[in-house]
Chain A
Amino acid sequence: MKLQFAERPERSLARQVILPLAAVVVTLGITSTAVVGAGANPLTAFRKILFTPLSSRFGWFEMLVSATPLILTGTAVVVAFSCGYYSIGAEGQLTAGAITATWVGIRLGGWPTPLAIVAMVGAGALGGVLWALPPALLRVRFGIDEVVTTLLLNPVATLVVSGLLNGPWRNSTTHYPESDPIAGPARLPRLFDRSRLHLGLILAVAVAVAVWFVLSRTVTGLRARAIGQAAHAARFAGLRVERTMLGAALASGAIAGLAGMNDVAGTQFKLSEGLADGKGYTGIVIATLAGLTIVGVVGGAILLGLVKMGSTSASRSLGVPSQIAEIITGCLLLVTVALMVLKRYRIRLVRGGGRR
């Protein structure tokens, strides 16, 4: 069966291409039980989720709209992980970026659009940086584990949003717990008529390409990769490990913050509760699935963007809960991590048979 994939785990081709594909296949296999549990035919459901959306122009554009913030969070995670900084904080940094972008966005009425967009980008990045700063400082100064601190700050960001929306930022006309809409010039321009696809996609791809360039072609990238691969050897070679790691942590925060800005300025036009919606965590799934490559991140973001929007439409037509998207995403992470372990320790699942 599928176990044959594990027969040649040491090839680099297998590592880069077959492994993620195997992860997707295994994941669909496992999640089909959930679909059956919801009373639907898994084949129909997966066709609705993965292929039906691609039969229309609208579907293609919506897939890219969903993928845009995931490209950013995935890239943010690649930046941190490449430098050996295991931040789980993209979710909170995204939320923080959304808060600062909203604060600025509401005040940009009457600005010229290009200038307003620059201000929004700056605001989003700044929010992410601020949220990433305390754990990063704790890590490089005192060696406090960043996995725990970044993770714990995520719900804090959610609660800050909740506090703002139920307090000072409550919508002044509707009194719903959501912010006032941001000003027109602060909204990211649409790329095509009759579609929500907006400038954020180009921004996200540009950031991803820039990160790829920095990591693979510059002095800074070499430094970061060396530290991520062998911090001890990097210190021995005279690299300033703490400074570089701090830089990577903050850059990662900035990119995650941009994802928050992207949501506020690209699709929502306001701050609302549940805005992050797991996109930060999904970034970790994507980066892991991609083996920390940028090409992989873009591909993975598009795939999971498709799953996200496909599940929404499938839930309507089939009665399958739209949470199937989260089940697929979570399952994909577990399967990916499991497959990596299999690869690393050369454990083969060949039971019976095949013995000479």
Chain B
Amino acid sequence: MSTADPAQAVAAGGEPTEHPGSPPAAAVRMSGIVKRFPGVVANDGVDFAAALGEVHALLGENGAGKSTLSNILTGLYRPDEGRIELDGRAVHFDSPRDALAAGIGMVHQHFRLVPTFTVAENVALADPHGIGRRQVRHLRQELAAMGAHYGLAVDPDARVWQLSVGEQQRVELLKALHRGARVLILDEPTAVLTPQEADALFVTLRAMVAEGRTVVFISHKLHEVKAVSDRVTVLRHGRTVGTVDTASCTTTDLARLMVGRDVVFRRAERAHPVDPAAAPLMRVRGVSAVNHRGQPAVRQAGFELRPGEILGVAGVAGNGQRELAEAITGMRRPTAGSIEVGGSPVRLGSVRAAHAAGIAHVPEDRLHTGLAPSLSIASNVVLTAYRRPPASRGPFLDRGYIRRHATELMSRFDVRAPGPDTPVRLLSGGNVQKVLLGREFASDPKVLVAASPTRGLDVGAIETVRRLLVQAADEGRGVLLISEDLEEILALSDRVLVLYEGRIVGDVPAADATAERLGLLMGGGAVSRDVG
């Protein structure tokens, strides 16, 4: 099989193969890469070189040019200028197929799997020669062997939709290995993983580089970069800031390289302590809800949220966080329970009723659920307020007001974009989140439900978003912060609830909340875990 033989992988691409006598220093070298998009220079003379047998991290804020660079290396974009060399030979990729044939594999943040196919069938689909039913049986043995070798155990006969996100990622890795990828690019691979799964992934990556493969690890999480990589190339504003040995620098050094200044996360300062005697802003009682497959996802959840309180909801992904947030914000009708805001009951299962009661929502999938990507910033900003003056008079939109309002929000929330008419899809992740927060804050909510509000954002944007959440609490609003990022929960919350299999299994004041204690609760209390 074509699994591990680099020469064969090259030959399969039909490229002329000069057999390298001695291995060159750099497996991949990209020099002077320039890629322009209308109005933006995404890569402005980027230099990048990764050696054989190393994990090379590509670190940078959102919009720094990491994705563009990896899309060029995988053949999705063609660079306007610059050269790409593999093992010292210049290459041109006209399509992702060329890059794959040359041994470059990519694991995208969003997986490219067929959910109704088995693991083996998905891998067979990726086979450059195509594979029949009979060979699939061989493939199963190969997969079992590869799984054992790299720590990527997955049942080859399982259907992909039945697998956890972490297991699906393993399938993507197996696919790339099966195609003989010598250079593997992973785009923020840990964003979807639990801390334990992430640790397991790091072991796998080390095993892969130990046998001479090259791993390019795209991330903006400093501690991960520190934990897994040998060297780091830092990008900022489309340019290479530098390449450093990971061992020689601290996370603070890396943060400074990435943003050009010091950034430290610490426990947020609060203007007022929460008054435990104050009447609760929101009271949730015995709420149960089912997920989209009709299975129970939230079981009898109940809690109170006080004015000025940031209430963290911790839990491993898939333990009912999404359904709880949707039940509270009216996106999903609970099967039981009640919700009160300011003492009066909220009609359940209606987004409008939740809005009217003063519940604002920053959803997990901010770009597609929260906003309409191809509409302008201005249209998105009025999407919840268009019905009333001053955004509209009778049936007519007041376009002047809408533009002014959007421009004002953009400056207040530091949204960086050419103007209020810019479609939201052209914004970077941080700016998208700021548009959404601006819109939700503009309705003067009593309660803000924020789901993973900083996931995927760069350091600067994380700071801004956290500051806004703290500010909301200081203004006397209640904030329900749902996040899988323990560090974030610990940094912001006054009190932490832990969800496990849809139940609230812990209610811990900030003073007693440690990563260890929460980690134990998140794992159902049954197993002792080493978290954080």
Contact = CB atoms under 8 A, between A and B. Distances in A.
Given A232-B368, A233-B369, A238-B352, A226 B379 contact: yes
B438 to A, nearest CB: 14
Contacts of A222: 379, 382-383, 386, 397
Contacts of B397: 217-219, 221-222
Interface string A225-246: 1100110111111110000000
A230 B368 contact: yes
A236 B351 contact: yes
A230 B373 contact: yes
B38 interface: yes
Contacts of A238: 330, 351-352, 355, 384
A195 interface: no
Interface string B373-386: 11100010011101
Contacts of B404: none
Contacts of B399: 217
A230 B396 CA distance: 22
Interface in B41-97: 77, 92
A110 B355 CA distance: 56
Contact of A235 (B38, B351, B374, B386): B351
Interface in A109-140: none
Given A219-B395, A233-B372, A10 B386 contact: no
A229 B375 contact: yes
Nearest to A232: B369
Contact of B383 (A218, A232, A239, A346): A239
Interface in B354-370: 355, 361, 363, 368-370
Given A219-B397, A223-B386, A355-B92, A233 B38 contact: no
B462 to A, nearest CB: 23
B387 interface: yes
A191 B395 CA distance: 33
Contacts of A220: 395
B265 interface: no
B392 interface: yes
A233 B367 CA distance: 8
A10 B426 CA distance: 13
Contacts of A229: 372-375
Interface string A197-234: 00000000000000000000111111101100110111
A237 B375 contact: no
Contact of B368 (A10, A217, A233, A239): A233
A141 interface: no
B379 A225 contact: yes
Most buried by B among A222, A239, A355: A222
A11 interface: yes
B520 to A, nearest CB: 34
Contacts of B384: 237-238
A222 B363 CA distance: 22
A234 B351 contact: no
Contacts of A346: 77
B136 interface: no
Contact of A225 (B330, B355, B375, B392): B375
B35 to A, nearest CB: 12
B395 A237 contact: no
Contact of B331 (A10, A218, A234, A236): A236
Interface SS, B side: loop
Nearest to B363: A236
A226 B379 CA distance: 8
Most buried by B among A226, A229, A234, A237: A237
Nearest to B38: A10
B9 to A, nearest CB: 23
Interface in B133-169: none
A169 to B, nearest CB: 40
- Range of interface residues on chain A? 20 to 34
A141 B373 CA distance: 26
A234 B152 CA distance: 40
Most buried by B among A218, A234, A355: A218
Nearest to A234: B372
Contacts of B371: 230, 233
Contacts of B379: 222, 225-226
A232 B331 CA distance: 10
Contacts of A219: 386-387, 392, 395-397
A49 B400 CA distance: 46
Nearest to A11: B38
Nearest to B83: A356
Interface string A323-340: 000000000000000000
B372 A230 contact: yes
Nearest to B95: A347
A234 B396 contact: no
Contacts of A236: 331, 351, 361, 363, 369-370
B372 A218 contact: no
A26 B369 CA distance: 39
Contact of A226 (B77, B92, B383, B392): B383
Interface string A251-278: 0000000000000000000000000000
Contacts of A355: 92
A226 B372 contact: yes
A355 B94 CA distance: 10
Contacts of B372: 226, 229-230, 233-234
A233 B370 contact: yes
Contacts of A225: 375, 379
Contacts of A223: 386
Contacts of B373: 229-230, 233
Given A226-B372, A230-B371, A230-B375, A237 B38 contact: no
A217 B398 CA distance: 8
A226 B373 CA distance: 9
A16 to B, nearest CB: 14
Nearest to A225: B375
Contacts of A233: 368-373, 383
A13 to B, nearest CB: 10
A53 B285 CA distance: 75
A219 B402 CA distance: 12
A140 B226 CA distance: 52
Contacts of B330: 238
Nearest to A235: B351
Contacts of B363: 236
A355 B363 CA distance: 45
Nearest to B439: A237
Contacts of B37: 10
A234 B383 contact: yes
A238 B383 CA distance: 9
Interface in B14-38: 37-38
Contact of A230 (B361, B374, B395): B374
B48 to A, nearest CB: 19
Nearest to B385: A237
B84 to A, nearest CB: 12
A44 to B, nearest CB: 41
A122 B365 CA distance: 45
20 contacts: A10-B37, A11-B38, A217-B396, A218-B395, A219-B387, A220-B395, A222-B397, A225-B375, A226-B372, A226-B375, A226-B383, A229-B372, A229-B374, A230-B375, A233-B371, A235-B351, A236-B331, A236-B363, A237-B351, A239-B383
Given A219-B396, A222-B379, 12 more contacts: A218-B392, A218-B397, A219-B387, A219-B395, A222-B397, A225-B379, A226-B383, A230-B368, A230-B373, A236-B363, A236-B369, A238-B355
Interface of A: 10-11, 217-223, 225-226, 229-230, 232-239, 346, 355
User: Which 8 A-B pairs give the minimum distances between C-beta atoms?
Assistant: A230-B372, A238-B351, A237-B383, A238-B352, A229-B372, A233-B372, A229-B374, A219-B392
Interface of B: 37-38, 77, 92, 330-331, 351-352, 355, 361, 363, 368-375, 379, 382-384, 386-387, 392, 395-397, 399
